[in-house]
Amino acid sequence: MTLGRWLCLVLVWASVLAHAEVPDDPFHSPMWRYNLERYLGSDIEVRHDERIDLQVPAFAEDSAQVPLTLDLSRFPHRPRRIVTWVDLNPVPHLFSYDPGELPLRVISLNFRVQQATTVRAAVQDEAGTWHVASAHVDAAGGGCTAPSLTAANPDWERSFGTIHGRAFPRGDHLRYKTHVMHPMDSGMVGNVPAFFIDRVELRGAGETSPLLSLTLSESAAENPMFVFELPQPPSAPLLWMRDNNGNVFERRLEGDAE
């Protein structure tokens, strides 16, 4: 056997091994393996997991504002990382979550869809295994290329960056519900550059590291609303956001905030 043929066989075998722990996609999406490798890596162990509750509507009435809720109440592991994506969007990545001191139980936000697609949430456990939940949303489409309604308002700059937020008791947890005025331009409309919030952090008073961190992409909806459910921290946390133009927005999330 020649050296070149031997190397070729080694590469093929390495590729087979890299995907040996990747199950088939029940939704038969052509982007299943590609997006797994793109966002999670090539040498990974993946499991479908029904204990991860990924909620999206069966049909998106508004392709530019599709609600997504990820509920980890039944997931027995503390997440090491979470990555979500929308298979057939021009920019599939939606958000990546990095944990802080407090374990996340629920996260919710709205996103865009360009066409009917499968949505994924991958949760990494302490051992490095990725647990994936999938859901399909039907849609008329065009949400990623629709112009921003916020920026079309001539007075949009007056409310730009305004944050409304409140904390709600949920047993021994608190649910933080926040809303920020931002056009979240996807960059897919002619002569309108991408302009979106790309970083969200919930910061505890005096904490050296955030309670949670999110990295957002262009698939997030305009005027985004976020819901986080966490164990109650010692004091009211600070919601901190930054967009890709360097603008920073923040608000302390008191229980009686409006």
- Block mean pLDDT (10 aa), the chain, length 258: 42 43 93 97 95 97 96 96 97 96 93 96 97 96 81 78 92 93 92 94 83 96 96 90 97 70
Gap between the Cα atoms of 88 and 116, Å rounded = 8
Q: What is the pLDDT of residue 250?
A: 95
Q: What is the third-level CATH fold of 45-252?
A: Immunoglobulin-like (2.60.40)
Q: What is the pLDDT of residue 148?
A: 79
Q: What is the pLDDT of residue 171?
A: 87
Whether the model clears a pTM of 0.75, i.e. scores above it, the answer is yes
Q: What is the pLDDT of residue 71?
A: 98
Q: What is the pLDDT of residue 140?
A: 87
Q: What's the CA dihedral at 132, 198, 201, 93 to 10 degrees?
A: 0
Q: What is the pLDDT of residue 78?
A: 93
Instruction: Specify whether the backbone of 35 is left (phi greater than 0), alpha (psi in -120 to 50) or beta.
Output: alpha
